[in-house]
Structure 1
C-alpha cells in the first residue's frame, strides 16, 4: 500500500462522459485519485485546486481544445511541470502527435486505447512523481538537518565561548585571590619571623608593652583582612548556589549606621577622610542586621579606597515605603560606561588612587540588597566622586 503522503492525483479531460468514466475505471487504483473534467475550463479549476502527477488530455474538444489547455498549463508556474499525455480518435494522417509533442506532451495515444499500455505508462509517470516527492522530502529533511546542525554548532560555539570566558574568570580569580591572600599572610609571616629571631637571641626587651600592643593590633588587622577575603569567597559561593540566607530581625537602622561609622572612624582618620553623618532619629524595621552592616561596610570601604582622602558623607532617611542610606565620596569617580560593570564579579574601578581587592564587594552587596527586595543604585562621573544609594522596603515596621 503506498504511503498516504505519496498519493498521486490524475487529471483526465474529455468532453465525452463515457470516455471519462471508462478512463476512471481503468486508472482507479490504491494510492491514486482520478479527477474528471468535461472541458478545458473545468480542468483549469481543478489544476488550481490540486497537485497532479499526470494530465491526460483529449485533443478534440469544443471551446478550448487539448492543445490550447496544454499551452496554458506550460505557461503557468504551478502547472508547467505536470507531464501531459494526449489522446485522440483522429487518424494518424492528421499528424496530431507531432503537434502534441510541440505543445510539451510526453506521450501521445490513439483511440481506441490499449488498456495494458495505458496502465503501464500511467504507472511509470506515477512512480516518477512519487520518487520526485520522496526526493523533495529528503532534500527538505537534509536542509532541516543542516539548519539544526548549524544551530547546534552555534550553540556549541557559544558554549565554548562561555567556557573559555569562565576559564579566564577562574584564572583571573585565582590570580587575584592568591595575590590578595599573600599580602596579609606575607606580613604575618614576616612579623612571626622577626619575633622568632628576637626570641632566639633572648632579646625580650624587644617585646615591651607598647610594642606588643602594636604587634597585636597589626596582626588583628591582617587576620581580619584574611577573614573578609574568605567571607567574600564564601558569599559568592552561596549566591551562586542560591543559599545566601537572610535572617530579618527588628532593629533601629539609624543606630546600626551610627555604630558602623564609629567602627570605621580610626580607618577614616588614617586615610585622611573626614566623615559627616546625617542621622534622622530612630528608624525601626525588619532586615538582616548582619547583612545590612556588611553592605554598608563595603560602601564605606570603597569610599575610603577611591575617595582620594576627601570628605565622605553618610545619611539615613525614610522615603515613603522605603528607607534610604546614602554614601557619598568626592574621589576619583566612575566612568559612565563602568557604572553597571562595577556590580559584576571581580570588577574593580581602575584609576589613580585605586587599590587592590577581589572586586566582589559590590557584587555581594547588590545580591544582599536584592534578597531584601531592595535596590542598590549609583550615580557618578569620572573625577567627581560617587553617590551610592541603598533603598530597602520598610516592611510595614518602620517609624521615624
Structure 2
C-alpha cells in the first residue's frame, strides 16, 4: 500500500479533546483518520468512505456507540467495518459484554494504553492493506484473464479467416482452372479438327459460312478467356490501389444503346427480350470504358439468371444524379445473399450451374464507388431483381476501395 492509497480510520467521540488525542495516537503515513462528533456524522462519513476500522465511544448523547453499531450492522454498506469500543465507564457495568454482542472486535477502557491502541490499529491497517492488495491482484488476474480470452478469440478468429482465405484460394484456383479449361478445350478441339483436315487435304471442303462460324466460335472463346484475365487483373489493381480511372464526357444514352444492341443477339439466344426504355440525353463525366464494363456485367448477369424472361434497362435523372436500373424477372435473390453477392469470388447459383469467377459484381461496385457513386440491388425471391447504378454527372472520382 502506498501513501497515495492510505487505509481509512474512523474515530467517533462527542468530546473534541478525545478526538484530537486519539487522532494523534493512531495517525500514520499509511492511514487517513476521519473524525465524527456524533453517530449521525459517523454514518454520513461511512456512506462516503470505506473504513478499515471504526473506533466508537460508547457514551455519547443522542445516538450512543452501541446504537451506532447496531445501525452499522443492519446495513450492507457498513456491516463489515471492524468496530472497537472505547469507554470511560467502569468494568462493573459490563459494557464489554454488550459491545461484543453488537459485533465489536475489541473493547478498550479509558485511560487508553497508547502502545496497545497503536498495536491494535496497526493490525487492522495491515489487514486492510492486505485485503486491498489481494483485491488489486484479483482484479489484475481478472483483467489478465479477460485479455487472454480476447487474445484467444482474436486468434481463433484469425485462424478462421486464414482457413477461409485458404479455402477461397483453393476454390479460386479451381474456378480459374475450370473457367479457362472450357474455352481452351474448345479451341484445342477446333485446332485438332483443322489439323486433321489439313493432313487429309480436305480444308477446301469447308465452306465460307462454316469457316466464318468457326472463327466466331474462336473469337468467343478467346474473349471469354480475356474477360476472366481482365477481371483478375482488375481485382489485383483494386487491392493495390492502382486501378486508374480516366474521366471524360460521356453520352450515357448512346453508351446504353450500344451495349444493349451488342447484347441483343446473346439475349435472343436465351429467348429473352432485352429493351432500353427511352430517355432524353444525359451527359456525365465518367470513365466510359469502366461504366460500360459495369453495365455489361449487370446485363450479363440479368440474362444469365433471368430465366429467359424480359430484361429492362431504364434511366432516371435528377439533381445531378443519374440512376441506371437493370431489371430482370428471374427467380430473385434471397435476403441473406443481397450483400454477399458483392463480395469477391462469391457466385450466385440462381439458375442452374453458376459461371464465372464471382468477380463481376464486386468489380462493378468498386467501379461505382471510384466514380463517387454506388451500386445497389433490390430483390425478392420469385419476383426478379433490380440492380441500380447511381452516378453523379459531374466529376467526383475517388480512390478505389481496396479489397479486405
- Report the TM-score when normalising by structure 2: 0.85
CA apart distance, 1:320: 4.6
SS in 2 for 1:6: coil
Structure 1: state its 5+ residue gaps: none
C-alpha contact 1:251 1:285 (8 A) present in aligned 2: yes
1:307-386 matched pairs, under 5 angstroms:
307-316=306-315, 318-335=317-334, 337-352=336-351, 355-386=354-385
Q: What is the alpha-carbon distance in structure 2 between the residues aligned to residue 28 and residue 317 of structure 1?
A: 83
Change (3 A) 1:286 1:121: same
Change (3 A) 1:27 1:188: same
Q: What is the alpha-carbon distance in structure 2 between the residues aligned to residue 163 and residue 20 of structure 1?
A: 69
Q: What is the alpha-carbon distance in structure 2 between the residues aligned to residue 75 and residue 33 of structure 1?
A: 25
1:176 alignment counterpart? 175
1:263 alignment counterpart? 262
C-alpha contact 1:332 1:353 (8 A) present in aligned 2: no
- How many aligned positions are there? 396
Change (3 A) 1:70 1:331: closer
Task: Identify the range of structure 1 (174-183 vs 17-26) with the bigger mean alpha-carbon deviation.
Answer: 17-26
1:44 alignment counterpart? 43
Task: Identify the range of structure 1 (94-103 vs 272-281) with the bigger mean alpha-carbon deviation.
Answer: 272-281
1:82-161 matched pairs, under 5 angstroms:
82-161=81-160
Change (3 A) 1:323 1:60: closer
SS in 1 for 2:108: strand
Aligned-pair RMSD on alpha carbons? 3.0
CA apart distance, 1:336: 5.2
1:4 alignment counterpart? 3
Change (3 A) 1:72 1:248: same
CA apart distance, 1:272: 4.0
- Report the TM-score when normalising by structure 1: 0.86
C-alpha contact 2:184 2:221 (8 A) present in aligned 1: yes
CA apart distance, 1:203: 5.2
1:79 alignment counterpart? 78
Change (3 A) 1:275 1:13: closer
Task: Identify the range of structure 1 (340-349 vs 174-183) with the bigger mean alpha-carbon deviation.
Answer: 340-349
SS in 2 for 1:34: strand
CA apart distance, 1:222: 1.1
* CA deviation map 1:355-391 (0-9, x unaligned): 5222221221222122222333445454554444433
C-alpha contact 1:10 1:34 (8 A) present in aligned 2: yes
C-alpha contact 1:327 1:389 (8 A) present in aligned 2: yes
C-alpha contact 1:252 1:283 (8 A) present in aligned 2: yes
2:28 alignment counterpart? 29
SS in 2 for 1:161: helix
Change (3 A) 1:94 1:330: closer
Q: What is the alpha-carbon distance in structure 2 between the residues aligned to residue 32 and residue 205 of structure 1?
A: 111
Change (3 A) 1:178 1:42: same
Q: What is the alpha-carbon distance in structure 2 between the residues aligned to residue 226 and residue 62 of structure 1?
A: 100
SS in 2 for 1:276: strand
C-alpha contact 2:3 2:29 (8 A) present in aligned 1: no
Does 1:224 find its partner at 2:241?
Answer: no
Q: What is the alpha-carbon distance in structure 1 between the residues aligned to residue 119 and residue 218 of structure 2?
A: 102
* CA deviation map 1:221-278 (0-9, x unaligned): 2111100001111122223333332211113222222333333344344444444344
SS in 2 for 1:356: coil
SS in 2 for 1:392: strand
Q: What is the alpha-carbon distance in structure 1 between the residues aligned to residue 314 and residue 79 of structure 2?
A: 82
Q: What is the alpha-carbon distance in structure 1 between the residues aligned to residue 274 and residue 157 of structure 2?
A: 48
SS in 2 for 1:348: coil
Task: Identify the range of structure 1 (78-87 vs 156-165) with the bigger mean alpha-carbon deviation.
Answer: 156-165
SS in 2 for 1:4: coil
Change (3 A) 1:71 1:184: same
Structure 2: state its 5+ residue gaps: 397-404
1:248 alignment counterpart? 247
Q: What is the alpha-carbon distance in structure 2 between the residues aligned to residue 337 and residue 42 of structure 1?
A: 64
Task: Identify the range of structure 1 (330-339 vs 162-171) with the bigger mean alpha-carbon deviation.
Answer: 330-339
C-alpha contact 1:310 1:331 (8 A) present in aligned 2: yes
C-alpha contact 1:305 1:354 (8 A) present in aligned 2: no
Q: What is the alpha-carbon distance in structure 1 between the residues aligned to residue 99 and residue 90 of structure 2?
A: 14
Change (3 A) 1:21 1:348: closer
